[in-house]
């Protein structure tokens, strides 16, 4: 039986991961919490390039609530995100539209949505649409991209992934990040703006 991971070792290695719809297997009980921008978050501990997720049993052993895990993982995210070099964000064209992409490194690229200052540093703070096909892929499109084109691009990237997030789009407008699937937001007849 593996030794339990102590909190002192795990705490500085923990990061938040956006979580798409999850259908837990029997006996699986990952800790999840509502993120500040809407979707649920799971907590991963970096084991040296691979992450293991925190389950309820481990959180009880650490005597940590989901709120405490969220607070610590967001602090760690700020530090790690500050280390990402801007050259890691690449430009390209998909479906005839300009895109900017952060992919594969880091494996937690979509978590940048939870660290707005670092997101702005890497992608700019101008109005834009952000897609999250997988945890390791964050894509930015111009704000005037029609919703069907955004969906086509994001679904194309999700289709190639082993674990797509299926979260829909996020809109960055006036330095505010809004999740388009958030049921607490009013429906927008124009698709993207509020």
Domain co-membership, 173 together with 93:
yes
Domain total for the chain?
2
Residue 155 sits at the vertex; the CA angle it makes with 78 and 131, to the nearest 5 degrees, is 25
CB neighbour class for 52 (10 Å; exposed up to 12, middle 13-18, buried from 19): middle
pLDDT for the residue 2: 61
Query: Which of 91, 192, 93 lies closest to 144 in space, CA to CA?
Result: 192
DSSP letter at 113 equals G
The per-residue pLDDT for 194 is: 39
The pLDDT value recorded for residue 193 is 43
Residues 67 and 137 in one domain: no
**Residue 188 in domain:** no
In a domain, 184, yes or no: no
Q: Would you state the pLDDT for residue 181?
A: 76
pLDDT on residue 184: 54
Q: Are residues 43 and 102 in the same domain?
A: no
Q: Is residue 190 part of a domain?
A: no
Q: Is residue 141 part of a domain?
A: yes
pLDDT tens readout for residues 152-185: 999 999 998 888 999 989 999 999 999 987 555 5
Chunked into runs of 10 residues, the chain (194 residues) has average pLDDT values of 81 96 71 95 93 94 97 98 95 92 92 97 97 96 95 92 90 95 53 46
Pair (21, 92) in one structural domain: no
């Amino acid at each position: 039986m593996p030794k339990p991971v102590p909190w002192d070792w795990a705490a500085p290695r923990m990061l938040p991961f956006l979580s798409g719809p999850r259908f837990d297997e029997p006996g699986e009980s990952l800790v999840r919490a509502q993120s500040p921008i809407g979707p649920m978050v799971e907590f991963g501990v970096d084991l040296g390039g691979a992450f293991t997720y925190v389950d309820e049993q481990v959180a009880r052993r650490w005597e940590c609530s989901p709120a405490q895990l969220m607070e610590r993982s967001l602090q760690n995210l700020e530090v790690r995100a500050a280390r990402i070099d801007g050259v890691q964000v690449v430009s390209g064209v998909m479906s005839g539209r300009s895109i900017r992409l952060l992919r594969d490194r880091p494996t937690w690229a979509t978590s940048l949505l939870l660290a707005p200052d670092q997101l702005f540093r890497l992608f700019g703070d101008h109005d834009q649409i952000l897609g999250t096909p997988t945890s390791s892929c964050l894509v930015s499109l111009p704000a005037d991209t029609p919703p069907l084109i955004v969906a086509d691009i994001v679904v194309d990237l999700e289709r190639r992934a082993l674990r797509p997030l299926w979260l829909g789009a996020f809109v960055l407008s006036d330095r505010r990040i809004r999740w388009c699937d958030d049921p607490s937001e009013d429906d927008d007849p124009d698709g993207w703006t509020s």
